[in-house]
Amino acid sequence: MGMNNQNRRDFVKKSSLGFLGITILPSLGAKIKPSDRLRVAHIGVGGMGNNHMQWFSELDDVDIVALCDVDQGHLSKSLKTMKTLQPGKEVIGYEDFRRILDRKDIDAITCATPDHWHAQIATLAFQAGKDVYGEKPLSYDVKEGQIMLAAQKANNRVFQLGTQIHATDNYHRVVEIIQSGAIGKVHTVRLWKTGAPPELTETKIKKVPKSLNWDMWLGPAPMVDYIPAKCHFTYRYFMDYSGGIFADFWCHIADVAYWALEPKGLKSIKAKGEVADGIANTPKWIDVDYEFEDLKILWTTIPPDVPGAAERGIGAYFEGEKGTLICDYDTREITINGEKMNDIPSVPLTIPRSPGHQQDFVNAVKSRRLAESNLEYARKMTLPMHLGLISWRLKRELAWDSKKEEFINDPEANKLLSRTPRSKWNLIQ
């Protein structure tokens, strides 16, 4: 039943992505010759951006030509790293990402900035004719995701969400098994991610480091005094910039459920939880019940009381009419009529395997096809996360109109679908 690497590469090349339930765009712009090297710039190189540098430097058909970061310490260190990753090749550093977007010789960017910058940078990149490999979460709020998608379509750009786990054989196989009907029609999916934010207690306002452009780091977020805990690495535990552990991990595990089931007709969202300890204000824990047309998705911070969940810090548990399937990033177990197994050989391989998440993006840029974690798919999959946080903030159940993408008769909740960026950094509204 298996495929060797060459066969899998050929399968990827010859097959469409119709299995995602998304129509292939007829054209995403002029093709780049397969022999051409893709010229890539990395925006945000303080954390995950350094992984981007490593990953893309290992691809045979990529040249990294520029880096950008608002912290000159991060930028200087990463430029030195690039001398090791790409010996003898020039890489230019910038503080302002717009200088990268102005360069006509750059084909694509990756974005690993703090979360509240993701959508602005991606949208402006689309408008500048660049393809985008963007880190998760996709956007800061619902409206930003809508703007991103409109800009991507209007400018015929390729997008890949940085959900690297999507590329794994395990996720592909889970989707094949669920879609085969082996466990019957799925009526409930339980998702979870354990862990709480760190307790951040230092509230002292400090002088902004000379190396950091704090105004630009904040960008569309409200202007506040500099407190180190609100900046690098722990920024995601503040609602002005992100949504905590829930926003960070939702897409990684909801991905396999959305891919397998394509949930439709979201009707209601009911969240509960507590606020983080210390000065952070994202959830310490959050549980969310989502009601779709014919499916329930239940998110919890503590593993649900089902077989196999307790030993998994993150996971998905599919409940079907004939059996169950539990999985995390690397493992899976199917139970049918009391019999446990980790595969069903009679279920054929029907989904093209990924050549690697970054290589899939590069291949999509060259061929002008949809990447696996393309924007239309990623936006649909990300949307419930935003709605769950809104229900958590308001401490009540919310009714949702999935066609209009708005809450039903609820002006207070609808105001939280977007925010007005600071005027100086209101770049895409």
pLDDT score of 121 more than 80 = yes
Q: What band does 227 get if pLDDT is binned at 50, 70 and 90?
A: very high
Within a domain: residue 75? Answer: yes
With a pLDDT cut of 70, the percent of the chain lying above it is 92
Between 291 and 34, the higher pLDDT residue: 291
Do 190 and 126 share a structural domain?
A: no
pLDDT of res. 85: 98
Q: What band does 35 get if pLDDT is binned at 50, 70 and 90?
A: low
Between 28 and 293, the higher pLDDT residue: 293
Q: What band does 24 get if pLDDT is binned at 50, 70 and 90?
A: very low
Do 115 and 190 share a structural domain?
A: no
pLDDT of res. 328: 98
Q: What band does 36 get if pLDDT is binned at 50, 70 and 90?
A: confident
Report the candidate in 383, 388, 396 with the shortest Cα–Cα distance to residue 245: 388
pLDDT of res. 31: 58
Do 394 and 255 share a structural domain?
A: yes
How many CB atoms are closer than 10 A to CB 426?
12
Whole-angstrom distance, CA of residue 22 vs CA of residue 277: 41
Mean pLDDT of all residues in 247-273: 98
pLDDT score of 427 more than 80 = yes
pLDDT of res. 23: 31
Within a domain: residue 425? Answer: no
Q: Which amino acid is at 125?
A: A
Q: Using one digit for the tens of pLDDT, what is the confidence trace for 376-416?
A: 999 999 999 999 999 999 999 999 999 999 999 999 999 99
pLDDT score of 20 more than 80 = no
pLDDT of res. 4: 39
Mean pLDDT of all residues in 62-82: 98
The CA–CA distances, whole Å, from 407 to 131, 132, 247, 377, 415 equal 32, 30, 20, 21, 10
Do 161 and 295 share a structural domain?
A: no
Please provide the average confidence, as pLDDT, over all residues in the chain.
93
Between 31 and 372, the higher pLDDT residue: 372
Do 31 and 123 share a structural domain?
A: yes
- In terms of C-beta density within 10 A (0-12 exposed, 13-18 middle, 19 or more buried), how is residue 422 classed? middle
pLDDT of res. 34: 52
Do 370 and 281 share a structural domain?
A: no
Task: Give the CA dihedral 3, 6, 10, 13, nearest 10 degrees.
Answer: 110
The end-to-end CA distance of the chain, in Å, is: 50
pLDDT of res. 26: 38
CATH number at residue 324: 3.30.360.10
- Whether residue 271 contacts residue 287, with contact meaning beta carbons closer than 8 Å, is answered with yes
For 20-24, 227-231, 269-273, 352-356, which range has the lowest pLDDT when averaged over its residues?
20-24
Q: What band does 17 get if pLDDT is binned at 50, 70 and 90?
A: very low
Within a domain: residue 18? Answer: no
Whole-angstrom distance, CA of residue 91 vs CA of residue 318: 47
Whole-angstrom distance, CA of residue 110 vs CA of residue 67: 10
pLDDT score of 349 more than 90 = yes
Q: What band does 2 get if pLDDT is binned at 50, 70 and 90?
A: very low
Q: What band does 261 get if pLDDT is binned at 50, 70 and 90?
A: very high
Within a domain: residue 274? Answer: yes
Within a domain: residue 226? Answer: no
Within a domain: residue 72? Answer: yes
Number of domains in the chain: 2
CATH number at residue 120: 3.40.50.720
Q: 406-407 and 332-336: which strand pairing?
A: unpaired
54: tokens are 């490593």
Phi, psi of 414, deg, nearest 5: -65, -30
Mean pLDDT of all residues in 215-240: 98
Whole-angstrom distance, CA of residue 260 vs CA of residue 91: 41
Do 359 and 347 share a structural domain?
A: no
Do 270 and 191 share a structural domain?
A: yes
Q: Using one digit for the tens of pLDDT, what is the confidence trace for 170-206?
A: 999 999 999 999 999 999 999 999 999 999 999 999 9
Do 175 and 156 share a structural domain?
A: no
Report the candidate in 255, 265, 269, 259 with the shortest Cα–Cα distance to residue 292: 265
pLDDT of res. 149: 98
pLDDT score of 30 more than 50 = yes
Do 149 and 259 share a structural domain?
A: no
334: tokens are 């199917």
pLDDT score of 76 more than 50 = yes
Do 401 and 369 share a structural domain?
A: no
Within a domain: residue 366? Answer: yes
Residue 126 lies in domain: 24-166+355-374
Within a domain: residue 2? Answer: no
pLDDT of res. 18: 33
Between 31 and 63, the higher pLDDT residue: 63
For 19-33, 107-121, 209-223, 358-372, which range has the lowest pLDDT when averaged over its residues?
19-33
pLDDT of res. 429: 74
Contacts 24+ apart (CB under 8 A), 199-202: 199/276, 199/277, 199/278, 199/280, 200/229, 200/234, 200/237, 200/276, 200/278, 200/279, 200/280, 201/278, 201/279, 202/227, 202/228, 202/229, 202/279
The CA–CA distances, whole Å, from 405 to 147, 262, 266, 398, 399 equal 13, 17, 10, 13, 11
Do 297 and 172 share a structural domain?
A: yes
